[in-house]
Amino acid sequence: MKINNQPVLRTLLVMTCAAILFAGGAAFAQEADAPAKAQLSFPGEYVRQVINDEAIVNLGYRTANASVGQEWLMVEISMTVLPDHDMTLKREDFWLTTPDGTRVDLATQEEFNKGSGSVRALDARANISRDSLNYLPPRANIPCRIGFFSDSSTPARGLTYSQFSMTPNSACGGRLYWIVPGGIQYGRYFLNIQLPDQVMQVPFSIMTKEELKEAKAKVKEWQKEQKAKAKAEKAAAKNQEK
């Protein structure tokens, strides 16, 4: 099904994955226990969005899901803040929780430099196949780089910064990197962000092929049902106009 209307597509994707969640899809069900103050949604198979009373965060982890067994885990994020919640975040405000509950702090720039071969391979893979994280409100229209990491081979990435600031008009984005002890394993992870008043948690699951196949099948089935429903509603509306 091809949809050119982006707002409609976004709504369909969010509803699709919500339907999977409540239908009992294994990979999605284990992410359902997001903090009570937060609203969790699934704009895509590898995209998670969390909104609380301070900020909006979108996380993409397609590359991480394809890196099982490797020590470097990379995710992409976009984020902004709600009105009256301007804030400055530092690199120590971001950390990862692994399936066994281990806290992993962001890699240092020095570790990033030493692991440049592995990191560049991840970046190359992410550049080829990536998911849109353009799920911020229209007011967030001023680009803002989350520059905790820089690579001399990609000057466009710019300098390394230990912090960044956001206003409700900011559309901040960047890639985050961790060295995972024992390598990436299947299961549920959390991206944790220390906001001024609370810790924001974005859950995401590294899925097995079976779980991913099940999720994709449910998405496809639901989209087919929604297409038929929309067609029926359109026909009914047309009949009422006669």
pLDDT value, residue 155: 57
72 has a pLDDT exceeding 80: yes
pTM higher than 0.75 for the full model?
A: yes
Residue found under tokens 């924001």? 200
State yes or no: pLDDT of 9 exceeds 90. Answer: no
Is the pLDDT at 27 greater than 60? The verdict is no
User: If pLDDT is split at 50, 70 and 90, which confidence band does 36 have?
Assistant: low
Chain position carrying tokens 């009949």: 239
Distance in angstroms (rounded) separating the CA atoms of residues 9 and 221? 16
Q: Is the pLDDT of residue 81 over 70?
A: yes
Over residues 146-156, mean pLDDT:
76
* pLDDT (0 to 100) of residue 32: 52
Predicted confidence band at 8 (pLDDT cuts at 50, 70, 90)? very low
| Mean pLDDT, all residues of the chain | 83
State the DSSP code for 196.
Answer: S
Of 9-18, 38-47, 155-164, 175-184, which has the strongest mean pLDDT? 175-184
Average pLDDT of the residues in 92-117 = 96
Amino acid at 189: Y
Report the alpha-carbon distance of residue 118 to residue 120 in Å, rounded: 6
Per the listing, tokens 């590359």 go with 63
Distance from C-alpha of 162 to C-alpha of 153, rounded to nearest angstrom: 20
**pLDDT over 70, % of the chain:** 79
Average pLDDT over residues 218-226: 68
Q: What is the mean predicted confidence (pLDDT) over 52-62?
A: 97
28: tokens are: 């999605």
Better-predicted residue by pLDDT, 101 or 152: 101
pLDDT of residue 164: 96
3-class state of residue 178 by DSSP: strand
Q: Other C-beta atoms within 10 Å of 113: how many?
A: 14
Which tops the pLDDT comparison, 41 or 71? Answer: 71
